[in-house]
Structure 1
Amino acid sequence: MNGRSAEGAIGLDFGTTNTVVALADGAGGSELVEFAGAEATGAVFRSALSFWEEERAWNGIACEGGPWAIAEYLQSPLDSRFVQSFKSVAASPTFERALIFGKPFRFEDFGRLFLQRVVAHAGGRLDARPGRVIVGRPVEYAGARPDPALARERYDLMLKEFGAELHYVYEPLGAAFSYASRLTEPATVLVADFGGGTTDFSIVRVAEPGAERRCVPLASSGVGIAGDRFDRHIVDRLVLPMLGKGGQYRSMGKTLDIPGGWFAEFSDWSRLAQMRNPRTLNELGKLQRSALDPEPIGRMIALIEHEQGFPLYHAVGRLKRALSAEDQAEFHFEGGDIEITAEVRRSDFEGWIADDLRRIEAALESALAVARMEPQAIDRVFLTGGSSLIPAIRALFDRRFGDERIATGGELTSIAHGLALIGGEPDPAIWAA
């Protein structure tokens, strides 16, 4: 709607790992929403839900979100179901619903409940329904054969009660608006956004301050590889061999390899919590009885039954952060009757993600090709998102563009800030994906 007032406009960066909300101030700026309460972590709200059975709750199941979900889980892990990274199934045609305490939840059900918890913990700043919501979306969705139309349908259902006017904007374009607010002269900017589920690029021409149209998109590209994929490599190398990966079982007189599907599910944060159901545990029990070495499958069952997804996720994240600062770090995980300790060199980790880095670089090449630009035509490179701190990723851009052209900052908040700035524009539909 052209000319609509920016009053009430918000930017919503609903991320695979974290969610951030910013409010347009009506004067060309924006302000992050800080969450309130004992468990609050500033403006960053973990994209997670925790469910538990409660007779007085709707449908007999209560839930919490963000850092409060983590607190609920830690208080009673065996009586709760912890769900994280559910954004990664938004575009998946194979995901229909997940069973939580026997009740089916679709993606949009998770999303609506999650947004309700975001509003509840925003200290009253989101109580009024926003007039205009600028929602970030990846250039390419995560998952095998993602369906963008399906993701849009699910997002619409998730957000239909959240805002009156919805606009979807590529996440790196939101970051470009945020970075442009720092610039005092025209520049051609490459934005690289490294999220939990996807890596996205936008090339934007930024005009001088005060220009009628400050940012003009030239090209965008993306790939469904980012932080969660890197996590899976760590789990694959350090955890799954102790849970039966590479093992064998007997069936109808034959010795067969244990199917890899069990391990793919276990290493996917969006699916791990769903494995704690009677059918899956029964099938794993059968596999344990027929395995040549049943002990590793027993460990997997114990980890699932004891709801160890979050502690495992935390241990993996701790290792990644340590390897961003040190050449070697210790991986340590203990839970569900299993303890794993291993020294990991940064060079090992970089070897595990080498193929992923090549695909990320190919997506970068694609953006440059669409814009018909060589690397030397890019004046500034802005890296954002948590995985941008990984040294191998930073080295990729140093090599292509030179350290002097690279800027960082606001790794977790820049997208929401920029989306809110777009919400303050007279016609945000110009930048819609």
Structure 2
Amino acid sequence: MASASSASSPSDPSRDFCAIDFGTSNSAVAVPDLRPDAARAGAMRLVPLEGDHPTMPTAIFYFAEGRHDADGPPRAFGRAALAAYVEGVDGRLMRSMKSILGSSLIDQVTDVGGGRGVKYADMLAGYLKRLRRQAALGGAEPRRVVLGRPVYFVDGEPERDAAAQASLAAAARTVGFEDVHFQFEPIAAAFDFEQQADREQVVLVADIGGGTSDFSLVRVGPERARRLDRRDDILASHGVHIAGTDFDRHIELTGILREFGYRAAGPARPGQPPREVPSGVYFDLATWHLINTCYSPQRVMELRNMKSFYGDPRHHQRLMTVLEERLGHELANRAEDAKIEVSGGGGCRIDLGLIESGLAVDLSEDAAVGALAGDIERIAQAGRETVAQAGLKPADVDALYFTGGSTGLRLLADRIAADYPAARQVRGDRFASVATGLGLHAARLFAS
């Protein structure tokens, strides 16, 4: 378990802690269950974050108009943030904030509209502050927290990975948490699985979310669940920084942006083969936290002047419509919807009529498989490496526990399961298993 903490002596240990699953796409919070009908001491429950929803999209919408208050610029969170964006309210939507951790962006300021600039670190802290307020019990906001973290924030770069955790810990302290601990997300999911385990077994947790694909091989069982120190039960952990947002990017590039000039040929020139249209703008349009960089006046002007680079003028016209009307996030949403639609098998039709009347593209399952095959194989390889790191073989895995939003992609789950034909497949709550397990760990850690 990774940890970073500061000394604290809270006066009421029964209600001053929580667990937060700060996800790339969705977040959740677990708190002590103090209701009179709670089944047992130390029980945890998920907090409704929006209405009855126990999860909230990891999203912030900054309004271009309105006054600052004590918390900063006017903004909305979660589903309200997405709704403001969909309704066309003037402002800026921010998603996939977790991907900023470990990058140089964390200390930079970005334009959020209305002449306002916000530091990415403050943006992240503002979202955590919202979660902390939702975790308040009896009016008291918790001072101790267990935060989930991927096995690797950044692949193969330990210094950047450590910096990512330090940035998240600093944001947590900024909003009032005094005692901050971390637990690997797939290990937390194993603790959730353990609640239904009736015997000792070895489980490989596949936690495939929006930003990372993490695996942990954990020994679980009814007797082991009573122990606070589980280090000996964590046999191996591994992961790669590939997951749902990468799938969305590939689907958008392959299934949508070819109609806007991606990988298209330029005009024929005497004695020269046609050159491929420059691709930088397309990769940025397919990456959530870079979409807004495509809208800067300087870049729009630069791309407007590149009309002669395009062999098909319709491609350039469609691209400029996206940039001038700021429709990049809408294209990304349609790519995500298409991924979900083909996840169970079959194809789909992607309506792009908002760009050009009658424009639509068909995405077949074969095309989706081709677009995602490389990433899916790298994720499956990370699972095999996890088992190998523990000195075990695939046949030694008793159960596969799938959690995380991207495990709903049938192509991915089937590929991972193929490596462990004897293992029992169990599916947890794709969006709440990690938060539930983090809550169990927080109860054992703090209540003790």
Same structural fold, with TM-score higher than 0.5 when normalized by the shorter chain: yes
> Partners of 1:34 and 1:226 in 2: how far apart?
26
Matches within 5 A, 1:34-433: 34-36=48-50, 40=51, 42-58=53-69, 61-77=73-89, 79-93=90-104, 96-101=108-113, 102-119=115-132, 122=134, 125=137, 128-141=140-153, 147-160=160-173, 161-209=175-223, 211-213=226-228, 215=230, 216-247=233-264, 257-288=276-307, 291-337=310-356, 340-402=359-421, 405-426=424-445
How far off its partner does 1:311 sit? 2.8
> Partners of 2:377 and 2:340 in 1: how far apart?
21
Tell me, what secondary structure is at the counterpart of 2:444? Answer: coil
Aligned residues: 422
Tell me, what secondary structure is at the counterpart of 2:74? Answer: strand
> Partners of 1:289 and 1:232 in 2: how far apart?
27
How far off its partner does 1:291 sit? 4.4
Tell me, what secondary structure is at the counterpart of 2:316? Answer: helix
How far off its partner does 1:48 sit? 1.0
Q: Which amino acid aligns with 1:134?
A: V
How far off its partner does 1:213 sit? 4.1
How far off its partner does 1:354 sit? 0.9
> Partners of 1:127 and 1:333 in 2: how far apart?
47
> Partners of 2:244 and 2:447 in 1: how far apart?
30
> Partners of 1:117 and 1:105 in 2: how far apart?
17
> Partners of 1:47 and 1:372 in 2: how far apart?
37
Contact kept in structure 1, 2:256 and 2:361, CA below 8 Å: no
How far off its partner does 1:346 sit? 1.9
Tell me, what secondary structure is at the counterpart of 2:104? Answer: coil
Unmatched tracts of structure 1, length 5 or more: none
Distance change >3 Å, CA 132–CA 91, structure 1 → 2: same
* Greater length-normalized contact order (CA 8 Å, ≥ 6 residues apart): 1
Tell me, what secondary structure is at the counterpart of 1:325? Answer: coil
Q: Which amino acid aligns with 2:409?
A: I
Contact kept in structure 1, 2:207 and 2:402, CA below 8 Å: yes
Which piece of structure 1 moves more, 183-192 or 272-281?
272-281
CA RMSD of aligned residues (A): 3.0
Distance change >3 Å, CA 222–CA 269, structure 1 → 2: same
> Partners of 1:166 and 1:227 in 2: how far apart?
28
> Partners of 1:123 and 1:24 in 2: how far apart?
10
Contact kept in structure 1, 2:136 and 2:142, CA below 8 Å: no
> Partners of 1:361 and 1:141 in 2: how far apart?
18
Distance change >3 Å, CA 240–CA 223, structure 1 → 2: same
> Partners of 1:266 and 1:282 in 2: how far apart?
16
Which piece of structure 1 moves more, 241-250 or 327-336?
241-250
Q: Which amino acid aligns with 2:141?
A: R
Contact kept in structure 2, 1:98 and 1:105, CA below 8 Å: yes
How far off its partner does 1:345 sit? 2.4
Q: Which amino acid aligns with 2:24?
A: T
Q: Which amino acid aligns with 1:100?
A: V
> Partners of 1:134 and 1:340 in 2: how far apart?
48
1:9 aligns with 2:17: yes
How far off its partner does 1:19 sit? 0.8
> Partners of 1:107 and 1:126 in 2: how far apart?
31
